[in-house]
Structure 1
Amino acid sequence: MIRADHVSCREFILQLNKQASRCNYGDRLEEQMYDRLVAGINNLILQRKLLELLNWQLASPFECDSC
């Protein structure tokens, strides 16, 4: 799913949510939504910001209940 130029980013996210509700992503819903958002946002600046956010999250320490 790719955002058309005339569709706002907010509307695109709503469309992604609607589409995801039809899929069986289970516990991978957030990961799949993020991937679809980055891949389909159709805005290079926003894609870079989203990827920077992901890199920051991966690099930051986190708590794990099972660790």
Structure 2
Amino acid sequence: MRERLCSKVACAREAVSTLTYDYGDKMAALGPLGIAADPHAHDLCAIHTDRLSVPQGWVVVRHETLRA
């Protein structure tokens, strides 16, 4: 299986999360890396996941994986 890279321009780090947007609800959903690449989603590395910011008035929903 080929590793997926961060969607940010000029970033060659391995992706660890997937970001999707719901423009109508002004919401961004960030969760674990999706099973398959989706052309409507953005895969992000750990650094860009931590630095994520959205426009003022938007909500970020972070789906965390369960930790033992």
TM-score (normalised: structure 1): 0.28
TM-score (normalised: structure 2): 0.28
Higher CA-based Rg? 1
Greater fraction strand? 2
Greater fraction helix? 1
